[in-house]
Structure 1
Amino acid sequence: MTGSLAHLTLAFGLLGNVVSFMVFLAPIPTFYKVYKKKSTEGFQSAPYVVGLFSAMLWIYYALLKTNVMLLITINAVGCFIETLYICFFLFYAPKKARMESLRLIVLLIVVGFGLIVVLTQVLASGATRAVIVGWICLIFSLCVFVAPMGVVRQVIKTKSVEYMPILLSVALTLSAVMWFFYGLLLGDFNIAIPNVLGFTFGILQMILYFVYKNKKPVTNEKISTFEAKISEMEEQKIPELKDHKIIDIVKPGSLKHSDILPVVAKSNKNGYDVAVEPQVPFNVPNHIIEVTA
């Protein structure tokens, strides 16, 4: 590699480190929302678990190579930050989401990464080991870029970008450009190829964000319709209350025993006769509501 090409590769590698660091910090607004709501409802842990797994794989791959030290630096930082995100998510997640996240962590981090390290160390050697791990890194790098796309379906369905981390989409797009040229200049297509797809997905997410950012969420429309129906039902009940008539009844103890006589009232406006039988004036309410038909 010539001097100018080496300098250009180093420049893209350093820029890739800077932008990737921004990628790792991009979810901070998302976790601030989680902190304010004290709940992870609406958010998923999969992108952060897959991100941690991918960072660990790239560190393993870089250790098998000799000229990709910049991969070690940024992915070591990534492992630390992604671990913090996952711990934060588990702390605020509901029980069901927490258990799903723990299962994913065991599946990818413990079982998946452990098997990859053990099998490649036992069954492969030298350059072959690096090639195998490189292909695995390529596949899971695609998963890192695809993972945030799970939000796309939710955005289209709800017409809301509340759960789409736009800063993450922008940072991923820029990072994909930097690492593509870094891998291309190194001649390492395991680094270059997945970033082509990463750039494409990043652009798609940003387009969706600008399409739906001013749309009225579908959930809000449903709530408004429901509230309107409730108000209409309450208005229909108001005329019925007008047909209720409050009749004053004498208070207990105000009548003498001699005053309690059988009384038959005249027919009311609806043609009904109301008869009041003699009774002992104990526990008589002050008022009674007569419901007319």
Structure 2
Amino acid sequence: MTGNLAHLTLAFGLLGNVVSFMVFLAPIPTFYKVYKRKSTEGFQSAPYVVGLFSAMLWIYYAFLKTNVMLLITINSVGCVIETLYICFFLYYAPKKARMESLKLIVLLIVVGFGLIVILTQFLASGVTRGVIVGWICLVFSLCVFVAPLGVVRQVIQTKSVEYMPILLSVALTLSAIMWFFYGLLLGDFNIAIPNVLGFTFGILQMILYFMYKNKKPVIDEKIPTFDAKTSEMEQKIPEFKDQKIIDVVKLETLMQSERAKLHKNGYDVAHEDAKPQVPSNVPNHTIEVTA
């Protein structure tokens, strides 16, 4: 019975490694876009810095335990991949984004992780150290799994799943299932408990995806589209043209009236450079007309 349990634990651990490796590779399309654009505009480094911090934290916890070698393997791979992502981001990031990323790295990786290691090494010992680090891992993992609530809220408000990648949600859900059973079979609740929340949120995201994938986004109903604005402008243009035509007609009528008056007084207005018609009984001298 014990042998079967060990084999089952190993199977879930290996599956957890495979699925988690796929999750680590999920951002590759994002960085391909960054490479093509030669810029990180619109993207943030925070997810990769947090991912690196989480992997380092779980490795430290695994070294304090004796039977969780599979945690070390996958999180070591995760550290390498997340470090590559961060270096790639820093290379293409604008100066402002690069400085913000460096501040986050110093705050979370250097200061945060450094303080955890130093304090637990000097203020705790033996089993107590492992318990403290285990609780830190548990709380941090819960915070990471709560992070997708922002995406869930956005999906509900906009009725759009544009920013919810379904494949990543499925991968995260499968990963949570594997690591939950791995932790449960080991009797390590620091591993099992956070993945209950991860599994729950993963299922919620998939339900929302299938609910709203064919829905029309709310933003389309509230914000006029470019075509709508163009159509509105086209409706106003004829009104302007009509008014202009009316003004031209009025001006033409006024000019005809003035021409009629001049003609009545004996002047030839057939041409723009018309000269007055001088009656025969009028002496030959220049007549100035002021109109």
Q: Normalised by the shorter chain, which TM-score bucket?
A: 0.7 to 0.9
In the alignment, residue 8 of structure 1 is paired with which amino acid?
L
- 1:85 aligned residue: 85
- 1:254 aligned residue: none
The structure with the greater share of residues assigned to strand is 1
Show CA shifts across 1:130-186 (max 9, x none).
Answer: 111111111111223223333223333333322222222111111111111111111
* Aligned 8 A contact 1:43 1:163 in 2: no
In the alignment, residue 62 of structure 1 is paired with which amino acid?
A
- 1:255 aligned residue: none
In the alignment, residue 8 of structure 2 is paired with which amino acid?
L
* Aligned 8 A contact 1:47 1:144 in 2: no
State how far apart, in whole Å, the 2-side matches of 1:89 and 1:212 are.
32
- 2:7 aligned residue: 7
In the alignment, residue 269 of structure 1 is paired with which amino acid?
T
In the alignment, residue 80 of structure 1 is paired with which amino acid?
V
For the structure 1 residues 177 and 137, does the alpha-carbon distance in structure 2 shift closer, same or farther, using more than 3 Å as the test?
A: same
Q: Give the number of the structure whose alpha-carbon radius of gyration is greater.
A: 2
Does structure 1 residue 119 correspond to structure 2 residue 119? yes
State how far apart, in whole Å, the 2-side matches of 1:43 and 1:213 are.
24
In the alignment, residue 252 of structure 2 is paired with which amino acid?
N
State how far apart, in whole Å, the 2-side matches of 1:222 and 1:89 are.
35
State how far apart, in whole Å, the 2-side matches of 1:221 and 1:21 are.
41
Cα drift, residue 94 of structure 1? 5.3
Cα drift, residue 12 of structure 1? 1.0
Show CA shifts across 1:64-100 (max 9, x none).
Answer: 1111111000000111112222333444555555444
* Aligned 8 A contact 1:55 1:78 in 2: yes
Q: Equivalent residue of 1:268, what SS? A: helix
Matches within 5 A, 1:1-293: 2-36=2-36, 40=40, 43-93=43-93, 97-220=97-220, 224-241=224-241, 268-269=252-253
* Aligned 8 A contact 1:20 1:74 in 2: yes
In the alignment, residue 60 of structure 2 is paired with which amino acid?
Y
State how far apart, in whole Å, the 1-side matches of 2:34 and 2:146 are.
22
Cα drift, residue 34 of structure 1? 4.4
CA RMSD of aligned residues (A): 3.1
In the alignment, residue 45 of structure 1 is paired with which amino acid?
S
State how far apart, in whole Å, the 1-side matches of 2:155 and 2:96 are.
23
* Aligned 8 A contact 1:149 1:205 in 2: no
State how far apart, in whole Å, the 1-side matches of 2:47 and 2:146 are.
9
In the alignment, residue 177 of structure 1 is paired with which amino acid?
I
* Aligned 8 A contact 1:51 1:144 in 2: no
How many residue pairs match? The answer is 257
| TM-score for both structures, normalised by structure 1 | 0.76
Show CA shifts across 1:218-237 (max 9, x none).
Answer: 44555644541333223322
Identity %: 83
In the alignment, residue 103 of structure 1 is paired with which amino acid?
K
* Aligned 8 A contact 1:47 1:147 in 2: no
In the alignment, residue 2 of structure 2 is paired with which amino acid?
T
State how far apart, in whole Å, the 2-side matches of 1:38 and 1:158 are.
31
The structure with the greater share of residues assigned to helix is 2
Of stretches 31-40 and 168-177 in structure 1, the one that deviates more from structure 2 is 31-40
Of stretches 31-40 and 157-166 in structure 1, the one that deviates more from structure 2 is 31-40
Cα drift, residue 243 of structure 1? 5.9
For the structure 1 residues 223 and 242, does the alpha-carbon distance in structure 2 shift closer, same or farther, using more than 3 Å as the test?
A: same
Of stretches 35-44 and 108-117 in structure 1, the one that deviates more from structure 2 is 35-44
For the structure 1 residues 177 and 129, does the alpha-carbon distance in structure 2 shift closer, same or farther, using more than 3 Å as the test?
A: same
Of stretches 73-82 and 32-41 in structure 1, the one that deviates more from structure 2 is 32-41
Runs (5+) with no aligned partner, structure 1? 246-266, 280-293
State how far apart, in whole Å, the 2-side matches of 1:79 and 1:130 are.
21
In the alignment, residue 237 of structure 1 is paired with which amino acid?
I
* Aligned 8 A contact 1:46 1:147 in 2: no
State how far apart, in whole Å, the 1-side matches of 2:146 and 2:229 are.
41
Of stretches 110-119 and 100-109 in structure 1, the one that deviates more from structure 2 is 100-109
In the alignment, residue 205 of structure 2 is paired with which amino acid?
Q
